[in-house]
Amino acid sequence: MGIEAELKAVVRDPEGVLKQLEQQYGAGRAEVYHDTYYDAPDGSLLGADRELRIRTVHGPDDTRTVLTYKGARVDEASGSKPEAETRVEDADAMHEIVRGLGFVPRIAFEKRCRNYGLERDGRRLLATLVRVPELDDATFIEVEAAAVTEDELASALAAVRAALAELGIQEEDLTTELYTEAVAAARRAPLPARSPRP
């Protein structure tokens, strides 16, 4: 199982970063991700820092579904994790299989993404601008590369950091908070008090 060498950051200037990406790498691919994360009923997957996800991606000309398993993070600073992923033919059947194996949906939400393929130091990278409607439409950027082994992780992350720096992303903008955690926290937040009627 390879390692997803990824860094994620809050984007302070979404329009500026988008403009840079478009100028350097051409028009990105706009896609909407529908993510469902599963866990064991006792929460043992989450408790062990592991993830099981079914993602259905709606693009401009196709729809595809991907099953992903992520192991516990191997680098605390970046949050990078071992990852195994495969495309599945039938999304409904995959959900039934996962539930039939005893896993339960933990959280589901939508991400609106624009993806760019880039290359640095001989590595293929994927840069993704992300908006999550439930997070007040805050914009994030993820840049990832594949590392075959843990020994390769440092050089993969160096390429990712360099790509982010080119886009003006600062170290202080980096975050390891998972979307699952942020969305769950947003859903627990109390609703603002209503103004009394006159």
Q: How much is the pTM?
A: 0.90
The answer as to CATH 3.40.710.10 being correct for domain 2-186 is no
Helical (H) or strand (E) element with 154: helix 153-166
Residue 98: how many CB atoms within 10 A of its CB?
18
Burial pattern 150-186, b for ≥16 Cβ within 10 A else e, equals eebbeebbebbbebbeebebeeebbeeeebbebbeee
pLDDT digits (tens, 9 = 90+) for 133-186: 999 879 999 999 999 999 999 999 999 999 999 999 999 999 999 999 999 999
pLDDT digits (tens, 9 = 90+) for 2-53: 999 999 999 999 999 999 999 988 889 999 999 999 999 999 999 999 999 9
Beta-strand runs (E) in 40-151:
51-58, 63-70, 81-88, 104-120, 123-131, 139-147
More confident of the two residues 40 and 194 = 40
Is the separation of the CB atoms in 59 and 31 below 8 Å?
Answer: yes
User: Which residue, chain included where needed, has tokens 């020994």?
Assistant: 151
Domain boundaries, the chain: 2-186
Residue 32: CA count within 13 A, CB half-sphere: 7
Chain-centroid distance, C-alpha 65: 15
pLDDT digits (tens, 9 = 90+) for 95-127: 999 999 999 999 999 999 999 999 888 889 999
